[in-house]
Amino acid sequence: MTDDRALAGELATAAGELLLDIRKTSGLTGKELGNAGDAQSNDFLLRRLAEERPDDAVLSEESADDKSRLQAERVWIVDPVDGTREYGTYEPGAGRADWAVHVALWSATDGLIAGAVALPALGVTYVDDETVVEPTEGLASRPRTGVPRVVVSSSRPPAFADEVAAAVGGELLPMGSAGAKAMAVVRGEADAYVHAGGQYEWDSAAPVAVAQAKGLWCGRIDGSPLVYNNDDTYLPDLVICRPEYVEAILTVTTEGAGG
């Protein structure tokens, strides 16, 4: 049997390849493309998980929430297309690359135990112990410099984003999906990712699993841990950063969180 980590990487990669094919051959763009990608990627992931791990529960953005997962020993947390808007921004020969596929596995005893983030448009999948296929070009809009960079949502940056950048002596880098932003930090193209504009468990589970395995600090903006497989799946904020920036960032974000 394929081990859990390898399975997460395999499924994220395969779903990404399916999404690229839909993007290329469907003739759809915009919201219609995003909807088609979400539905078909979700169907693929649910089918494969049912085949490979029939005894595990699944929490997916694109499926009704089966609350039996709250009593399950193992729960797969998936986002079939993270960054649907960015995925749908496409025309033949051109399209945005800052979207992802998330596949994570949560255990009742150990928390997140496997995770994979595929960046299909870049041809790379990150898992929580190694990198599969490193592309020649990165996500960043320009070559990495010595100035610290804080990635934030291009549509919903935190109110304290400028303060965080100032606290680390750096600059902001707006970007699309949560997975793309988190992997920019994993790749060394940014130093921190800060978000406070609302997310759900499937937005961060796989990126956090990968980021933690790479030695990055991951937590909520008030400094508390990120906890998964809750009854309420709303998990609105997070910080992923290099360890040396934790204190400076949390000094700003805990105040913003009311701490």
Please tell me the total count of domains within the chain: 2
pLDDT of the residue at 137: 47
pLDDT of the residue at 76: 98
**Of all helices (H) and strands (E), which one includes residue 124?**
strand 124-127
60 in helix, strand or coil?
strand
Query: Tell me: the pLDDT tens digits for 118-134?
Result: 999 999 999 998 554 44
Note whether 9 and 123 are same-domain residues.
yes
In a domain, 92, yes or no: yes
Residue numbers of the chain with a pLDDT score lower than 50: 132-137, 259
pLDDT of the residue at 101: 98
In a domain, 139, yes or no: no
Any binding-site annotation on 98? no
In a domain, 102, yes or no: yes
Any binding-site annotation on 82? yes
Any binding-site annotation on 79? yes
Note whether 117 and 173 are same-domain residues.
no
pLDDT of the residue at 132: 44
Note whether 168 and 90 are same-domain residues.
no
pLDDT of the residue at 133: 40
Q: Please report, for the domain that includes residue 214, its CATH number.
A: 3.40.190.80
pLDDT of the residue at 255: 82
In a domain, 141, yes or no: no
Note whether 113 and 163 are same-domain residues.
no
Q: What distance in Å separates the CA atoms of residue 186 and residue 178, rounded to the nearest whole number?
A: 12
Domain membership of residue 98 as a residue range: 4-127
Asked whether 223 and 239 are in contact (CB, 8 A), the reply is: no
Any binding-site annotation on 65? no
